[in-house]
Structure 1
């Protein structure tokens, strides 16, 4: 059995400031994958405070009473964002808590979520014409199965990814099977990359994927936030080049 306190990034469900107007929240473990074995995924959301103390909530995790108090202390949620078809589970509780916020859903979420999302979400499928354009760049990366929408926070030079790179630390995986799977899947720290199964969805779209990665590199990010595993607090450009060397070389 996985010891959640060992496998996650405590403290959980609380704001952690990593730059001016930028926080992460490390959430609980979720289990995802085939019926067996299911992979334990530590979760992470990102919160960005934009002009007017409006908050951009990326890939929301569980909303506890204490976290809601912290959120309301730093600003008002304006946008709640599901960045790909697999990152939607906690969106309904955030919408219920903050009904004035706009919910943006990446392509495929409504299909994937089925009855879990029973409200209208705005489409998150383009690169511009959002209220946040002057402070955040938006970049959809479309594979045959999933479109993931990436963001770049200009002022802090922070790139925000979801599943495009995963980086599981072996020390946080007590199971030999899980350590083996992450290594074979190319998602094990210190060499976390795009998961091999996700790469297959870009067969025939390598040029588009390469153009997207090159655009991220041109943004010159100082840090790269990931939803699963150890994120990159520095050397963002070098981490991108390393993670995508199979595509760029």
Structure 2
């Protein structure tokens, strides 16, 4: 019913810097009030100083994509960054049994409720794992519906968000109804933000969210990678202040 254009080409590494890449994946259907809404997907790939590969919010795996990533280095870390983004973790764990899986609290239960069995080796908190400490910083944002780990890659000065900002481009949305809903949710490019219904779930958590946003700003990122929609290639701090003005 609702259709949206993807960010072609899909399932290929797209360099941002010498040590960080994007992979745009296929559209997935997100169930909302009984309707399947189309969301383009995006994974972030970081090669650490020791050559280890860190994968954030993995998209669906393919043989071609696996070959490209294997050429970068050994996959060590698989990150399920929030309580919505976890569905592809099991297939990546099967492909890379030596990798460690990380996710925020609440994923296992949410996944089980949706018929997905997922094993997390570690729960993410505000302290970076020793495997990437000093290269990738993090802070966890918790609400009544969504818990999300936010990451900052120091070398490329890149902030990595998942659903705390969504930024859909109008010309890619083919359904007038879906285009109207995106505007209603407050997630239309260039003024992307957290969806309005999601913002309401943070009402009792605003002091902690405000501290997390202050930390994101303090990192002074140059760009912001998003999982859904056009990501911000520059003016990252200004976009953060705008997108989280509701906080």
TM-score (norm 1): 0.94
Check the 8 A contact 2:152/2:158 in 1, yes or no.
Answer: yes
Match of 2:11 in 1: 13
Check the 8 A contact 2:20/2:46 in 1, yes or no.
Answer: yes
Check the 8 A contact 1:186/1:192 in 2, yes or no.
Answer: yes
Change (3 A) 1:30 1:191: same
Question: Any stretches of 5+ residues in structure 1 without a counterpart?
Answer: none
Q: Is residue 168 from structure 1 mapped to residue 180 from structure 2 by the alignment?
A: no
Change (3 A) 1:242 1:113: same
Q: CA separation in 2, counterparts of 1:142 and 1:14?
A: 32
Match of 1:188 in 2: 188
Q: CA separation in 2, counterparts of 1:73 and 1:183?
A: 41
Q: CA RMSD in A?
A: 1.4
Check the 8 A contact 2:166/2:228 in 1, yes or no.
Answer: yes
Q: Is residue 201 from structure 1 mapped to residue 190 from structure 2 by the alignment?
A: no
SS class of match (2:162): coil
Deviations 1:162-188 (A, max 9, x none): 000000111111111111111010101
Change (3 A) 1:211 1:173: same
Match of 2:69 in 1: 71
Deviations 1:68-119 (A, max 9, x none): 0000001111100000111111111111111100001211110111152243
Check the 8 A contact 1:60/1:81 in 2, yes or no.
Answer: yes
Query: Once the 2 structures are TM-superposed, how far is the Cα of residue 36 of structure 1 from its aligned partner?
Result: 3.8
Count of matched residue positions in the alignment of Structure 1 and Structure 2: 245
Query: Once the 2 structures are TM-superposed, how far is the Cα of residue 218 of structure 1 from its aligned partner?
Result: 1.1
Match of 1:26 in 2: 24
Q: Structure 2 residue aligned with 1:109, among 107, 110, 117?
A: 107
How is 1:233-244 mapped onto 2 (pairs within 5 angstroms)? 233-244=233-244
Check the 8 A contact 1:108/1:146 in 2, yes or no.
Answer: no
Q: CA separation in 2, counterparts of 1:128 and 1:135?
A: 9
Q: CA separation in 2, counterparts of 1:14 and 1:123?
A: 29
Q: CA separation in 2, counterparts of 1:117 and 1:235?
A: 39
Question: Any stretches of 5+ residues in structure 2 without a counterpart?
Answer: none
Check the 8 A contact 2:44/2:55 in 1, yes or no.
Answer: yes
Q: CA separation in 2, counterparts of 1:53 and 1:94?
A: 19
Query: Once the 2 structures are TM-superposed, how far is the Cα of residue 120 of structure 1 from its aligned partner?
Result: 4.4
